[in-house]
């Protein structure tokens, strides 16, 4: 047990350094400083998610077939590439390479860290502790991001070179704990004849099998994917929105720092909420609160806009570990990364379409009307899916 506990502690250490993206709350501002329009920024974000859509499932399969450490190692090198391209870029084409690199970062990391944590616990028959452990992982990642947000705002006041140079340095440090992680044993996918793509095809079918055999996960996955995709759009365009409300880059860095620090608390108490309430009660009450605070974010006065923004982030931070635990219990270890990659792929596909549309839209109708249309689209998709599921049951 001590060996497994140590393994998770090393994983925590790795997560802290791997999440130090000092431009998280500032990259839209950086691109605007470099002369990019909102439409071009939307296209760049779409490029990021296009890379995720293209490579999410294949990289998840790599994690399940060849090892989660291999996947994390590739992801960390892509983080270094992202920082380098952003530092050196001055044109739309170079920024495209940067955002493609970041897309690969997401795909190589997606599901791999959680799979290592779950299988580490599984060795000691301690799977019930997973929500608490993944809550710790989320808390550490958010704590790292909060530090990055806080420092990034001050770094940007000095120089953008400091922002991206520091990012490159911290991701080099992240390689140290990564090499120290001991990958736990997992069930192997049965040996298949033929080339690598035969294995990939089989792995993809395994992921689809999980979806078909577990209809109880359909609504949670759909609502989680939609809510997290919409929140991503709010967060990143919110950077410029807050600038228009009169906040400085340093102040925005502080706001995002507070948001992630609150997320640390939410992630840490998630296992307590899970123990006290039924999963679907948490899902539907959380969905209602999400709609309420989205409305307040659109129509409230300045200080309430910030408060609503902070609470929206916390709803997802609280729910994500609970959601992950619910899904993990239904998976075999040889398909964990693959299935979560399929979830991430769907989320990224929505963002890939929605992000540039929102960017072009707000250039014409403004932020308030843009957020109203975003909420309307979110509600329409969620309601249509729920109606479809009900009709299918009948």
> Which residue shows structure tokens 């693959």?
338
Instruction: Say which DSSP state 334 is in.
Output: G
CA nearest neighbour of 92 among 56, 43, 58: 43
Q: Quick one: pLDDT at residue 358? A: 87
The secondary structure of residue 225, as a DSSP letter, is H
Rounded CA separation 270/322 (Å): 6
Per-residue pLDDT of the chain (394 residues; tens, 9 = 90+): 445 567 778 889 999 999 899 887 788 888 988 888 877 887 887 888 788 878 877 777 777 777 888 889 999 999 999 999 999 887 888 899 999 999 899 888 877 888 888 888 887 787 788 888 888 888 888 788 878 878 888 898 888 999 999 999 999 999 999 988 887 776 555 544 455 455 556 556 777 777 888 888 888 999 999 999 899 888 878 877 888 888 777 777 778 778 878 888 888 888 889 889 999 999 999 999 999 999 999 888 777 888 899 999 899 888 988 998 888 887 776 677 678 777 877 887 888 788 788 888 888 898 889 999 999 999 999 988 888 877 766 5
pLDDT of res. 2: 42
Kindly state the DSSP code that residue 185 receives in the 8-state scheme: P
- The alpha-helical segments, DSSP class H, found in 89-195 are 92-109, 112-122, 130-158, 160-173, 175-180
Distance separating alpha carbons of residues 57 and 340, to the nearest angstrom: 9
CA-based nearest residue to 77, from 8, 181, 177, 174: 174
Are residues 168 and 80 in contact, defined by beta-carbon separation less than 8 angstroms? yes
Measured CA to CA, the distance from residue 292 to residue 207 in angstroms comes to 34
pTM, entire model: 0.69
Domain ranges of the chain: 2-181+200-393
Nearest alpha-carbon partner for 262 in 223, 218, 314: 314
**What's the pLDDT at 195?**
54
Tokens of 204: 């993809």
Residue pair 317/267 in contact (Cβ under 8 Å)? The answer is yes
Res 393: pLDDT: 63
Alpha helix (H) residue ranges in the chain? 2-18, 27-33, 38-66, 68-88, 92-109, 112-122, 130-158, 160-173, 175-180, 196-213, 218-244, 249-276, 279-299, 302-328, 336-393
Angle between helices 249-276 and 130-158 (to 10 degrees): 180
Please give the Cα distance from 136 to 230 (Å, whole number). Answer: 25
CATH class, 2-181+200-393 region: mainly alpha
pLDDT for the residue 1: 44
């Amino acid at each position: 047990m001590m060996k497994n506990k140590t393994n998770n502690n090393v994983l925590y250490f790795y997560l802290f350094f791997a999440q130090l993206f000092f431009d998280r709350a500032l990259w839209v501002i950086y691109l605007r400083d470099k002369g990019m329009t909102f439409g071009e920024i939307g296209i760049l974000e779409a490029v990021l998610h296009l890379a995720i859509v293209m490579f999410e499932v294949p990289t998840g399969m790599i994690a399940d077939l060849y090892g989660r450490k291999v996947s994390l190692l590739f992801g960390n090198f892509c983080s270094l590439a992202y920082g380098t391209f952003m530092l050196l870029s001055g044109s739309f084409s170079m920024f495209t390479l940067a955002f493609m690199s970041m897309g690969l970062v997401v795909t190589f990391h997606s599901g791999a860290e959680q799979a290592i944590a779950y299988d580490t616990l599984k060795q000691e028959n301690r799977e019930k502790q997973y929500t608490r452990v993944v809550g710790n992982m989320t808390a550490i990642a958010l704590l790292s991001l909060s530090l990055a947000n806080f420092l990034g705002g001050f770094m940007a006041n000095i120089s953008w070179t400091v922002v991206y140079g520091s990012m490159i340095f911290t991701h080099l440090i992240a390689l140290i704990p990564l090499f120290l992680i001991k990958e736990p044993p997992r069930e192997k996918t049965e040996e298949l004849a033929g080339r690598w793509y035969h294995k990939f095809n089989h792995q993809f079918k395994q992921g689809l099998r999980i979806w078909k055999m577990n209809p109880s996960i359909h609504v949670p996955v759909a609502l989680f994917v939609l809510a997290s995709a919409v929140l991503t759009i709010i967060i990143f365009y919110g950077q410029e929105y807050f600038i228009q409300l009169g906040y400085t880059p340093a102040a925005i860095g502080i706001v995002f720092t507070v948001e992630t620090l609150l997320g640390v608390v939410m992630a840490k108490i998630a296992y307590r909420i899970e123990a006290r309430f039924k999963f679907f009660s948490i899902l539907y009450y959380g969905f209602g609160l999400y709609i309420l605070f989205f409305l307040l974010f659109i129509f409230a006065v300045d200080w309430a806009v910030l408060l609503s923004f902070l609470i929206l982030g916390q709803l997802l931070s609280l729910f994500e570990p609970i959601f992950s635990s619910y899904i993990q219990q239904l998976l075999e270890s040889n398909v964990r990364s693959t299935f979560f990659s399929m979830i991430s792929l769907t989320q990224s596909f929505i963002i890939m379409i929605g992000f540039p549309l929102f960017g072009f839209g707000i250039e014409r109708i403004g932020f308030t009307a843009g957020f109203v249309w975003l909420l309307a689209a979110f509600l329409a998709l969620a309601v249509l899916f729920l109606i479809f599921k009900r009709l299918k049951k009948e």
